[in-house]
Structure 1
Amino acid sequence: MAEQPKKRGVSGKLSPYAITKDRDDDFTFNVVYTANRSIQDICQLAANDKYSASELESVYRHLLDTAKEELYSGATVAFGFSNNSLGVTGLFIGPKASFDPARNAVELRCTPRVEFKKELQQIPVIVTGTEEGGPTLIRVTDVTTGSVNSTLTPGGGLNGESNRAKVAGPDESNGFRFVNADTEAVTEVPPTSVLRNDRSSFSLIVPALPEGKYYLEVTTQFIGGKNVFSKSPRTNRLPYALTVGTPDEGGDDIL
């Protein structure tokens, strides 16, 4: 019988829920992430006297290639934490219509496997404090590929969900930016490239970023009131590294 993983729990802070207008005592929970693990990291952590990290990674790559072959052939594949299948988006016009790349796209659909849904109910959640109304980036969708919290397309659109991430206030540091995950080089998003920016959602045009991995950050003094700003800017980073170019299979795999 397989050994059950340790459920150490997750911790995070409460953040005021800005959507509810008729009350001020409700909060959302923001997880404080402890690390960003790649496949190589997982193999290193799982290595033991029986299997080395390189052996585990080799087996994983072989399994991944097999899973891909089955998935791309139209099978539904249970792999990792999710059940995976392919779907096709967009409308087909007329009964004899064919696939049109300008209108249709193949997408990856993932749903949590049942056994993990059950385990999630047993994970302790620890509240470590309350955030004082700072911005929170929740998720982003690359408009070109349709991927969520995964890729970036330079020159393409990026739609995001957030809490209190409206860029406002007099400080010059306020705005969106991309930070290279390896070099920490910063690429600011020009205000003219921000197409929509509300407290709970935003849309922007991705700058001409070289291939690599990037974190999206926002800095703002917005606290919810009109022309009322925090004394100092507050910055929040989306916890997922976003890839420009071909995704690195050793990075944030979702299968």
Structure 2
Amino acid sequence: MATNDPKKHSITGNLVANMLTEREDDYTFNVTYTANRTIKDLCKLAAAGKSKFTASELESAYNDLKEQAKTELFTSATVEFGFTNNMLGVDGPFIGPEAKFDPAVNSVTMRCIPRTEFKSDLESISVIVGQVSEGLPTITKVTDVVTGEVNARITPGGSLNGTGKRVRIVGEEGKPVGFFFINTNDQTEKAVPMTALSRNDPSYFSFIIPSLPDGSYYLEVATQAGTNNKTLVKEVRRNRFPYVLTVGAGGSDRPEIE
């Protein structure tokens, strides 16, 4: 018998000690992601499902809609596209009634607000809490040396100083260890060369920020360092700093987990 009840969804993940607070019983929830889907992937999946269009037709239609959405957005319309309502804004101070836009202190930004229908969908998702992940490397704070900003904007080519627990980069040959910047839009990854590390201690690190296009990024640390500085754990342990780091004018400095 057919039903109109919405499909039930669930997400799983593990608890990780929250090093950003002083409570010893405070944890954050790290979602276990199952895949990374691009627009091309979604078109292929939809075409293989119930869609009457081919993957190429769906992608072509999406690209046409995206270009039209950009045209409308960039001419001051508010645009419903994807999961959000999108609009432009201008950040920075305007001093005095005759103030002009100054690129040195002002910037055009995109503001995205989740659409109401998806907010209600989120309330219906069940969350399955797995085990507590112990001993993960954890970054607690980063400071951009060029600007002095903390947990916010970063400057490619400048130094980034950080503090944390078990953040010393060590590992067996061939293992993917180090610091990595993950683009929040397309999930592309940029590794920090080990030669860029100027300090590599269990609780402190410093490195030169690699060349990164304007945008927003997560910083992740991967290491085989154990609780005992003289030993290595069997597998690489990787963890994400919960603040979004921004290059240029775009992005947000709000944490992923509040």
User: Following the alignment from structure 1 to structure 2, what is the Cα–Cα distance between the partners of residues 50 and 106?
Assistant: 39
User: Following the alignment from structure 1 to structure 2, what is the Cα–Cα distance between the partners of residues 167 and 7?
Assistant: 38
After superposition, the Cα gap between the structure-2 partners of 1:117 and 1:165, relative to the gap in structure 1 and judged at 3 Å, is farther
One-letter amino acid matched to 1:56 = L
Higher deviation after alignment, 90-99 or 72-81: 90-99
Q: 1:206 aligns with which of 191, 204, 209?
A: 209
2:253 match: none
2:179 match: 176
One-letter amino acid matched to 2:222 = T
2:238 match: 236
1:127 match: 129
Q: 2:82 aligns with which of 75, 80, 83?
A: 80
2:26 match: 26
| TM-score, scaled relative to structure 1 | 0.65
Percent of residue pairs identical: 50
1:36 match: 36
Q: 2:197 aligns with which of 191, 194, 209?
A: 191
1:112 match: 114
| TM-score, scaled relative to structure 2 | 0.64
User: Following the alignment from structure 2 to structure 1, what is the Cα–Cα distance between the partners of residues 6 and 98?
Assistant: 51
User: Following the alignment from structure 1 to structure 2, what is the Cα–Cα distance between the partners of residues 104 and 76?
Assistant: 21
After superposition, the Cα gap between the structure-2 partners of 1:27 and 1:132, relative to the gap in structure 1 and judged at 3 Å, is same
After superposition, the Cα gap between the structure-2 partners of 1:104 and 1:230, relative to the gap in structure 1 and judged at 3 Å, is farther
* Number of matched pairs: 219
How do 1:62-77 and structure 2 match up within 5 A?
Answer: 62-77=64-79
Tell me the secondary structure at the aligned position of residue 135 of structure 2: coil
CA contact (8 A) 1:179 1:217 kept: yes
- RMSD between superposed Cα atoms in Å: 4.7
Higher deviation after alignment, 92-101 or 230-239: 230-239
Deviations 1:161-220 (Å, cap 9, x if unpaired)? xxx8456448478752459988997733723499xx989xx996522469xxx9854135
Q: Which runs of 5+ in 2 are unaligned?
A: 148-153, 248-258
Q: 1:92 Cα deviation (Å)?
A: 1.9
User: Following the alignment from structure 2 to structure 1, what is the Cα–Cα distance between the partners of residues 18 and 155?
Assistant: 31
1:251 match: none
Query: Post-superposition, which runs of at least 4 consecutive aligned residues in structure 1 deviate over 6 A?
Result: 156-160, 179-186
Alignment partner of 1:219 is 2:222: yes
CA contact (8 A) 1:178 1:189 kept: no
Q: Which runs of 5+ in 1 are unaligned?
A: 145-151, 245-255
CA contact (8 A) 2:137 2:221 kept: yes
Higher relative contact order by CA 8 Å / sep ≥ 6: 1 or 2? Answer: 1
Deviations 1:45-78 (Å, cap 9, x if unpaired)? 1114611111111111111111111111111111
